[in-house]
Homo-oligomer: A and B are copies of this chain.
Amino acid sequence: MIEPLVLKGFRDSLPYEEIPKKKIQRKLEDVFETFGFVPIDTPVLEYENVLLGKGGGETDKQIFHFEDNGGRKVAMRFDLTVPFARFLALHHDELAIPFKRYHIAKAFRGENPQKGRYREFIQCDFDIVGCDNAQSDFEVLSLMHASFSAMGIGNVCFHVAHRGLFNDFLSSIGVGEKSIDILRCVDKLRKIGRDEVGKILVDITGDEQKSSRILDYITCGDGRPFKETLDIISSIIGSETESLARMRQIYALLDGVGIADKFIYDASITRGLDYYTGIVYETFLTDIESIGSVCSGGRYNNLASLYTKENLPGVGASIGLDRLMAALIELKSPLVSDTANADILILPKPDETLKASDTAFRLRGMGIRTDVYLLPEKKMKAQYDYAEKNRIRRSLVFGTDGYVVKNLETRQSVTVAGLEEVAALCR
């Protein structure tokens, strides 16, 4: 006998988890499609040097990599961004540019498992490639907003900033050349707090006053409406830079469709990654901010440069579905709490199997999710246990005067003559 073990850091998804996961995925796909975004897929396995973007040397320990039976060095994708860059380089001639794609798929990392972190996880990325303008920045922000609305999450706040604007500010106080170190340090504000960030900034700039001016800058949006923060930044920097103009355009578009109140300019958002060049953003659920950002991204202006000379500017975002699921469970969202496998369960007597299959056939034809209990010789208790485990709310038995539909929560029964009426009770 072999022990049926699952690898450390991996997990099965049981129906009560998989049903809501699929619902969320569908909601997102529906929204993406309403925005004209198209799905793509790429292989789970790729050449190691393609994924790592380099010829050789030591391989990152977090990557699952091996030599296949043909002696090729291969690796499992660790995100959806790198494969997308490779995809763009390979296919840009075949694609409609601007290219608006989404990709919901698994990625793999060998990092040490901790609470809420797994070695196999689902990413949901969406990007617009081929333009660098306020409309495309806005389109992604607008899609983020629509996604959370579609999931019924109203208490959400999108924290937006602009890398270039931060650099404008740093230049204005004379530390522009240290921008990469400063951006990385500021990115840790939520994790390590204002005091720690201040100390590191003193180390970087060698100047306490400059450190405190940076701290003031990154917290200048605190609690303020988006537009007000932009005006404050304008007066801090002392000029209307190109990046500021871009942010004003984006704000105008957000305001134009009436969703600006969900967005704030949060100058502390910098995103750690090097490839961002313009707008950057993170998304927080105001009821459980502690869970961290559930949707992040930004503008990058040369994602595929490792693989092609073609210049492909882009803007995009990524939702961590596992973290989002955890949040929705904590928020008791209806999206994750209803996990019934069916609207109604037919409980036939042993001699009623023909009748049961015919009834199921017709109810399903009306769009009613219908389960038939397949072991009619079992005791009543087993039958109701089955209904409970599947969280089914209604049962149907064949009475002498018609269909007896029982509400399994209230335990009240009602007898109806026709299947149309059964269907109506289920809706």
Dominant SS among interface residues on chain A: mixed
Using Cβ atoms and an 8 Å threshold, which residues of chain B touch A296? none
User: Does A193 have its Cβ within 8 Å of any Cβ on chain B?
Assistant: no
Judge if A156 is at the interface, Cβ distance under 8 Å.
Answer: no
* A146 to B138 CA separation, bound complex (whole angstroms): 43
Chain B residue at minimal CB-CB distance from A51: B2
B12 and A87: CB pair below 8 A? yes
Q: Is A168 an interface residue (CB 8 A)?
A: no
| Proximity string of chain A (73-88) to chain B, C-beta cutoff 8 Å, 1 when within and 0 when not | 0101000000000110
Q: How far is the CB of A247 from chain B (nearest CB, A)?
A: 15
Residue of B nearest to A368 (CB): B34
Do the beta carbons of B47 and A5 come within 8 Å of each other? yes
Binds B, one of A210-218, A250-258, A409-417: A250-258
Q: What are the residues of chain B within 8 A of A14 when measuring CB–CB?
A: 40, 91, 94-95
Q: Are A7 and B47 in contact (CB under 8 A)?
A: yes
CB–CB B135/A357 < 8 A: yes
Say whether B307 contacts A43, CB under 8 Å: no
Please determine whether A38 and B18 come into contact, CB atoms closer than 8 angstroms: yes
A418 at the interface (CB under 8 A from B): no
A12 touches B41 (CB 8 A): yes
**How many copies of this chain does the complex contain?**
2
- Smallest CB gap from A55: residue in B: B2
Interface centre among A74, A306, A353, A389 (most CB of B within 10 A): A353
- Cβ–Cβ contact B12 & A43, under 8 A: yes
Of the candidates B22, B46, B97, which one forms a contact with A29 in the assembled complex, judged by CB atoms under 8 Å apart? Answer: B22
User: Judging by beta carbons under 8 Å apart, are A50 and B10 in contact?
Assistant: no
Which segment, of A60-68, A199-207, A282-290, faces chain B? A60-68
Given A43-B120, A66-B66, A341-B38 contact (CB < 8 Å): yes
Interface assignment of A123: CB less than 8 Å from any CB of chain B: no
Whether A106 touches B12, Cβ cut-off 8 Å, given contacts A38-B19, A39-B22, A367-B34, is: no
Q: B residues within 8 A CB of A26?
A: 26
Count, chain A residues at interface, CB 8 A:
112
Chain B residues with CB under 8 Å of A386's CB are 96-98
Interchain CB contact (< 8 A) of A45 among B10, B86, B133, B134: B10
Q: Are B256 and A307 in contact (CB under 8 A)?
A: no
Q: Report Cα–Cα, A100/B139, bound state, in Å.
A: 41
Residue-wise interface mask of A (362-375) relative to B, using a CB-CB cutoff of 8 A (1 in contact, 0 not) = 00100111111111
- Asked whether any CB of chain B lies closer than 8 Å to the CB of A36, the reply is yes
A175 contacts chain B at the CB level, 8 A cutoff: no
| Cβ of A163 under 8 Å from chain B | no
Q: Point out the residue from B134, B252, B354 that lies within 8 Å of A256, measured CB to CB.
A: B354
Residue interface bits A274-305, CB-to-B below 8 A is 1, else 0: 00000000000000000000000000000010
Q: Which of A55, A72, A256 has the most CB of B within 10 A?
A: A256
Assess whether A372 is in contact with B7, with CB atoms less than 8 Å apart.
no
Q: Does A128 contact B (CB under 8 A)?
A: yes
A40–B61 touching, CB < 8 Å: no
Complex CA distance for A100 and B390, rounded to whole angstroms: 10
Q: Give the chain B neighbours of A53 by CB distance below 8 A.
A: 2
Task: List the B side residues contacting A320 at CB < 8 Å.
Answer: none
Is A44 within 8 A of B307, CB to CB? no
Beta-carbon contact of B390 and A96 below 8 Å: yes
Look across to chain B and name the residue whose beta carbon is closest to the beta carbon of A105: B106
Choose among B10, B95, B135, B341 the residue that contacts A389 (Cβ–Cβ < 8 A).
B95
- CA gap between A357 and B253 in the complex, in Å: 7
Sorted from nearest, which 8 A-B pairs have the closest CB atoms?
A36-B371, A66-B66, A96-B389, A15-B38, A13-B41, A10-B43, A36-B342, A4-B89
For this complex, 21 residue pairs linking A to B, each with C-beta atoms less than 8 Å apart, are A1-B309, A2-B307, A3-B50, A6-B90, A7-B47, A8-B72, A12-B91, A19-B38, A21-B41, A22-B29, A35-B364, A36-B342, A37-B341, A38-B341, A61-B69, A96-B386, A98-B374, A131-B375, A135-B353, A253-B357, A256-B354
